Structure 1
Amino acid sequence: MFLSTGFCSYTRGTLRDYVLIQEQKTWDEAQAYCRKNHIDLATIQNNEDSANLQEAVYKMTKIAWIGLYNDINSWRWSYQDEKITFQSWNTGEPNNFNGHEECGLMYDSTWNDWSYSALFPFFCYNENGTNRFVFISYTKTWKEAQSYCRHYYTDLVIIRNQTENNQLTMMMQPHASAWIGLFRDVWKWSDATNVSTSSLSWMTGQPDMIRLQRPCGVSDSSGLISDQLCSNVLPFLCMDRRKFYV
């Protein structure tokens, strides 16, 4: 069922109701509007949601914000998903340079965010060993290093204070850089639900995130998703409460 009144188009589905707002707002402004007047920006968790969303956007001539965003502030430790209580970021870091920096790297005595596919030495955390910190001098990607540490030790290293940070700095000499256990979420939904990658239909070549230090998700009129700079002004899709019909 499709209704259109004024600046809004409204479609009613079996799982979620989506409302297309034809006002121009940044992603943050759109999120605030949706949370005030509806539930949140649109989320897509399954194929039925995707089909319902397409009903709301098929007459749209431009792209519109949805609730997808690249979470640049969700840093935590690989070990038990422990929250960060101590930080030693370098000046201006983390900066998500080129839009693909999701993992933590120790550079000299400070931390940088870096792309997980780069190759560096790494530190493992050995929870029950005499030496809790183990430096591995050969190089791996962050995910390979995580797998190695979890297989042979406990996990990638966790740093809880300046004393430990200083100890690791000394251990990795003469190497300048090494992976540590820091990582962050990449794509998340505005309503805090998990992103199911199987429910996302990306445009060809997307997401690219290049030069987008803070990318957010948009949908086109066919329901395909791409990323845009969150500060761009666009129409947007809000989500209302779930309704079920027999």
Structure 2
Amino acid sequence: MYKNSEIRNHENENGERISSTKSTMQKKTYLPTLRCFSVVITISYFARSDIHLIQSLENWMSAGIKCKSNNTDLISINDQNVMDELLDYLKFIKPPFSFWIGLFYNSSTGQWQWSSGDHFMYLKWRNGHPAYNTIQEKCTSMGPLGTWNSSSCEEKKQFVCLNDNTTVQLHLIQTSMSWSEAMLYCRAHYTDLVSITSTKMQRKVTGMALKAGSDAVWIGLRKERLFGQWLWVSGHLLDYTNWAACQSNDPTFGHCGLMSRTSRFKWTTSCCSVKHHFVCYSLKVAHVLIYSLLKSGG
């Protein structure tokens, strides 16, 4: 990815000095191999965020309240894409530092979870963490290397808010293309081939597929060539699935995913060179706010 950054200084409505970093990431796309038995693909990620550094040290609970007062929440780090973007922004802050993130230990369930309600699937614990003593260390902070530490929730730290007001817009393309051509078209004109990560998104994509002139539509599912795992080309985790009952076990066939009327719009596999209509998606920008202690004269 190519990155461009600019730093600007201004004051907020309370007269606090804010250093804002605006950064953009642009995708680098590689042309897949158009063969029925394999698809070579590179996952790319596109995002743009505004970071605001504001003087504030809070305990974990107060940090979460301050985030919510600005219609945000303590950040959830659900995958390596989010982690990479966050680390990219942290380079503008002088170490050492430690930030609160939204991960906490829920005593009622006996599980670690995100305050935003997001699924807890991505792990980046520092060696020796989380601490065995979850009575004292129920909250999570992150250091300059990106590793997570379990900490007492009463400690006062800087913190990271994420305004994830991202909205997904779907686009039905009623031109028949191979899976690889469809992916390149989506990346050139929108964001990517659609990822279906929930029942809500499944219903939305089904509604689009019903309008298609072809029996089936390509979605962003593809089979990873080396280990044979199914992945979303956008980089989203495959934690929600809606596969049709019968799938081909032929290792030379069916490396791309689609939805069809014959399978009642459940997911099926197909040779990637077959031409179908397809569904792209585009994203509204999310904003990241980092509340940080600005040392005077530093």
TM-score category of the 2 structures, normalised to the smaller one: 0.3 to 0.5
Where relative contact order (Cα < 8 A, 6+ residues apart) is larger, the structure is: 1
Structure 2 length normalisation: TM-score? Answer: 0.39
Structure 1 length normalisation: TM-score? Answer: 0.47
**More helix per residue: 1 or 2?**
1
